[in-house]
Structure 1
Amino acid sequence: MENELFDYSPITERPRIEWPDGKRVAFYVGLNIEHFLLDRPSTSIWPGTSDLVPDALNYGWRDYGTRVGIWRTIRTLDRYGIKPSVLLNSEVVHHYPQIIQAGLDRDWTWLAHGRTNSILHADLTESEERAVLTEIVETIESATGTRPQGWMGPGLTETLNTPKLLAELGLRYVLDWTNDDQPYALNVPGVLSVPYAIELNDLAIFGKPTTGPEFVRMVRDQYEQLNSESEQSGRVMALALHPFVIGQPFRAKYLAEALAFLAEQPDIWLTTSDEIAEHYRRTVLATD
């Protein structure tokens, strides 16, 4: 099957992106706030028990994020004035209202992230998917007071109809296609792809024997390389976080070190995925 969702576009042959106030790198935190089902295998730290019901080991590891890790992570984000782009399972609304309230108090940006990360967004007919997406979007809108503008599927999953159906619901961008350092337009009217991080992502990084100082070094290296390249055109840097990973006590100081480094960079725009998409749409697509 040929890909008709988007066209090939080398980064060397595009209109120049200029971020606000002459900044060169647009940075956002993608904060995954998720709900997991007790009777479904999901993201696991040790696969040996992942098919058990209940899987106390892995379920408990994930559950640490909403009970403890999120609050530790919030304090660090607050310290450096970073408002995350929250990738929100709609089931979070029903199970963890205190987290929703914390985000409302801080004016977080909310993206739709499926119902639960225990079920991938796949194997749906168009009519089934339309109903599922409508319920997800309306649940998040009802709880947060704002309709989400962005989508990332559980496990970065979509169907071939997802962008079209999201556009029908008023959503304007997706994060699932992690193939670029800049936003770009999909071949679906009104829908963009915005960069997300599959490697600069705590699940990927700490799923290997990576130390805290190595994590900080990766963040610095990512920023420095993108900043160097942005002399020609602005770049996007995303840092993907999961509270059950980055929220572990022994990692907290390294997240703080990484964010402290970024917050002091003169060429960085500390922003959200919503603002990146809107700025690109207004300044690049409108003049293209």
Structure 2
Amino acid sequence: MTKPTENELFTYSPITERPPIEWPGGARVAVYIGLNIEHFLIDRPSTSIWPGTADLVPDALNHGWRDYGPRVGIWRTIESLDRHGVRASALLNSAAAEHYPQIIKAGLERDWAWLAHGRTNSILQAGMTRDEERRFLADVVDTITDATGRRPRGWMGPGLTETFNTPELLAELGLSYVLDWTNDDQPYALNVPGMLSVPYSVELNDLLLFGKGTTGPEFVRIVKDQYEQLHADSEHGGRVMALALHPFVIGQAFRARYLDEALEYLATRPGVWLTTSDEIAEHYLRTAGERG
């Protein structure tokens, strides 16, 4: 019988037994917007709104739905972020950096944080050998660095995918955190020197919520409920709230008012640190010694 593979990437740590985290200015909840900026190949199946045509080449229905994001949806989303003074944590495919220079320019003007998000969301890296993945990750990081003038500090895999080698290879490239492990409300150290897991969400995520039939008003209520509970939990130490957005979903015209309502709520909460995933990771690493 084959021995089961044990999880050596991180150690179990109940949130009730940790030294409390303190956010800047006495804030109780650190909130960031994970803005997915993705490029999809026209001849590969990927995220679909209608599975009936997903295997066709070209799949005009689903590819067009996805392509609405960089053409239209992201600009509507940027207007909402600007109205409420929110900097995005841009989860950037390196292929998107090459194909959509206007989006890169807009993000640089707004001082976004830039995270590496693979090459394209049409291709996952699962199954790569260590050397293949090392070359792949180096190309992704270098492409984003060249496009933005800033070397990414964080990573989220396409479809939140990794191999067992990914965190270590990312650390070799100078990155310091990943978002792929959505198992906590606080950052925590991985068993890879210098590498953190920072909270992300597949639940508080427009693609998953609206894909299940959530309405706009329900979306706003969910955002409020998430914040209120995390604020209550933060009595015992700071928490992180990640709101995951995809421009081809949240950027649809009939959803714009609900993103505005959600952002207005978050931007006006007492005790909120409206920030980026980079700043959350940096603060956690800088204050680790103070927590013991």
Q: TM-score range by the shorter chain?
A: over 0.9
Q: Deviations over 1:49-77 (max 9, x none)?
A: 00000000000000000000000000000
> How many percent identity over aligned positions?
75
Pick one of 107, 111, 114 that aligns with 2:115: 111
Q: Does 1:211 align with 2:215?
A: yes
Pick one of 17, 24, 42 that aligns with 2:21: 17
Contact 1:62 1:244 in 2 (8 A): yes
What is residue 181 of structure 2 aligned with on the other side?
177
Q: Which runs of 4+ in 1 moved over 2 A?
A: 284-288
The alignment partner of 1:103 has SS state of helix
Separation (CA, whole Å) in 2 of partners of 1:15 and 1:283: 11
Contact 2:21 2:291 in 1 (8 A): no
Separation (CA, whole Å) in 2 of partners of 1:140 and 1:94: 9
1:186-205 equivalences under 5 Å are 186-205=190-209
Gaps of 5+ in 1: none
Separation (CA, whole Å) in 2 of partners of 1:133 and 1:204: 27
Contact 1:15 1:284 in 2 (8 A): no
Amino acid at match of 1:10: P
Q: State the Cα distance separating 1:287 from its structure 2 match.
A: 4.6
What is residue 225 of structure 1 aligned with on the other side?
229
Q: Deviations over 1:112-154 (max 9, x none)?
A: 0000000012111111100000000000001101100000000
Contact 2:89 2:115 in 1 (8 A): yes
Distance 1:16 1:45, change over 3 A: same
Amino acid at match of 1:19: W
Separation (CA, whole Å) in 2 of partners of 1:120 and 1:24: 36
Contact 2:90 2:115 in 1 (8 A): yes
Pick one of 92, 105, 126 that aligns with 1:101: 105
What is residue 89 of structure 1 aligned with on the other side?
93
Contact 2:267 2:274 in 1 (8 A): yes
What is residue 274 of structure 2 aligned with on the other side?
270
Separation (CA, whole Å) in 1 of partners of 2:232 and 2:288: 21
What is the root-mean-square deviation of aligned Cα atoms in Å?
0.7
Q: State the Cα distance separating 1:286 from its structure 2 match.
A: 5.8
Amino acid at match of 1:213: P
Q: State the Cα distance separating 1:93 from its structure 2 match.
A: 1.6
Q: State the Cα distance separating 1:284 from its structure 2 match.
A: 2.3
Contact 2:19 2:291 in 1 (8 A): no
Separation (CA, whole Å) in 1 of partners of 2:265 and 2:36: 22
Gaps of 5+ in 2: none
Pick one of 51, 72, 96 that aligns with 2:76: 72
The alignment partner of 1:29 has SS state of strand
The alignment partner of 2:58 has SS state of coil
Separation (CA, whole Å) in 2 of partners of 1:247 and 1:280: 32
TM-score computed with the length of structure 1 as normaliser: 0.99
Pick one of 231, 239, 263 that aligns with 2:243: 239
Pick one of 155, 158, 173 that aligns with 1:154: 158
